[in-house]
Chains A and B, each alone.
Chain A
Amino acid sequence: MDEKTSLRYQLISAWCGPAFVVTFVIFWLILGHNLPNPSPNLTAVALKERYLGNLGEIRLGFIISMITVCLYMPWSCVLAGQMSRIEGKNMPLLSYLQLIGGALTVMVVSFSAMFWAVAAFRPDASPETFQLMTDTGWLCIDLQYACTTLQMVAAALVGLADKSKVPLFPRWVCYLTIWCGISFFPASLTGVMKTGPFAWSGVLSFYFPYFCWLCWYSTASIFMIKEIRRRMAVAEPVGSSRLAAA
């Protein structure tokens, strides 16, 4: 593959980042009726009614979001490639860690939508079934954030060690990444809390950490796209290598 084609694929993969954010907001958050999301304190009957009242949108939202969440994959791959360049001749340990963290994040997010899609599958099921699947989906995504935290910490550590003239990430982005990773910690409290700001529908366990996650992801995407554009600017045109060969 010539350099220009490779760079084009890299650019498309980096743009999968913003595409993920947009589709996640549209399908997972809005169509999936997760804005605001159901309170864990809701009775089983009220929860079932919430599903039945919006069955079509919820089904569409979660089924599509299980596809679009995979946009996170090429994005993680291009970041791994950019990070391994910084790690240089050393073992690309942190690049691997970031890649595997990104891959597992896809599964964590995907399985949340999966459980809710199952809940919406049989509208005649008992309210308790709806409740169980809803609980499973939320605890799945809210308690398993450490995969994403490790992905972010790995990216930040490599970013801080970047000695390039124009580094991949400015240092403040690396610290933003660490901070956003830390912001997930309150989400562990969703395993116990049913009301208040630390429940899975609360400000400090839902709105704040999810905002931080998308904020980091969008910011990192911008700098990754910039990096590829810089490389595209200095890359030789496709024709010139052929000319040289001839």
Chain B
Amino acid sequence: MPVELTAPASAASKSALRLPGDPDIWFLIFAELMTFGMFFVAYVGYRALEVDLFNESQLSLDRTLGVINTLFLLTSSWAVVTAIESARKNQLKAVPRYLALAIALGVGFMVIKYFEYSAKFAAGISLTTNTFFNFYFALTMIHLVHVIGGTIVLIVLWSNARGGKYHAGNTRGLETGASFWHMVDLLWIFLFPLLYLLR
């Protein structure tokens, strides 16, 4: 009994220490986080110069759509995690299914963004309207490029998973792609309150 207890515990602590996926992908993720960190510092800096303008302009953003997109990305991250769990349990059919769900939510994010941008353009608001909208469009567009890139990565994973590539013995590629997708999610978790909520 004690043997049975210690064995999984030590395995768990080992996996907790290990970076998921290709360890070097964390170099890219760290660099990306630093880059967006720089964007956020620039945003807060420029906001301090024109607080009233930023607060007033922020009111025209559609918070409901922002919340929906947040839920989309959070759910898709959960789907990717579940896909990895399925691969570890050798439930090979479930892996592409959860990845497809994650891809659909990624596409859903893009569709919502399309409607959000169209509404802004229809109201005569664009990139050049004022400093707030400079940042709003620039940061969300750069993030959107990451969502598109991440969705392409998920499609590659999905296609591999359909061929049965990922199983208990091989989750490395899946974890590498998933780590990138979680980063895209994380960036939005910062972006959403900064742009839509910060008063």
The B interface is mostly helix, strand or loop, or mixed, namely helix
A203 to B38, CA, bound (A): 10
Interface size counted on chain B using CB atoms at 8 A = 25
Is there an interface contact between B142 and A208, defined as CB atoms closer than 8 Å? no
- The smallest C-beta distance from B120 to any residue of chain A, in angstroms, reads 14
Is there an interface contact between B42 and A178, defined as CB atoms closer than 8 Å? no
Given known A-B contacts A185-B142, A186-B138, A197 and B128 have beta carbons under 8 A apart: no
Residues of A6-56 at the interface with B, using a CB-CB cut-off of 8 Å, are: none
A193 to B134, CA, bound (A): 8
Is there an interface contact between B38 and A196, defined as CB atoms closer than 8 Å? no
Interface size counted on chain A using CB atoms at 8 A = 23
Q: Is B28 positioned at the interface, with any CB of A under 8 Å from its CB?
A: yes
Is there an interface contact between A189 and B127, defined as CB atoms closer than 8 Å? yes
Q: Determine the chain A residues whose CB is within 8 A of the CB of B27 once the complex forms.
A: 172, 175-176, 179
A228 to B44, CA, bound (A): 47
Name which residue of chain B comes closest to A177, CB basis.
Answer: B28
B residues in contact (CB < 8 Å) with A: 22, 24-25, 27-28, 31-32, 35, 38-39, 42, 46, 126-128, 131, 134-135, 137-138, 141-142, 145-146, 149
User: 11 interchain pairs (CB within 8 A)?
Assistant: A171-B22, A172-B24, A176-B27, A179-B35, A182-B149, A185-B142, A192-B127, A193-B127, A196-B134, A203-B38, A204-B38
A residues in contact (CB < 8 Å) with B: 170-172, 174-176, 178-179, 182-183, 185-186, 189, 192-198, 203-204, 208
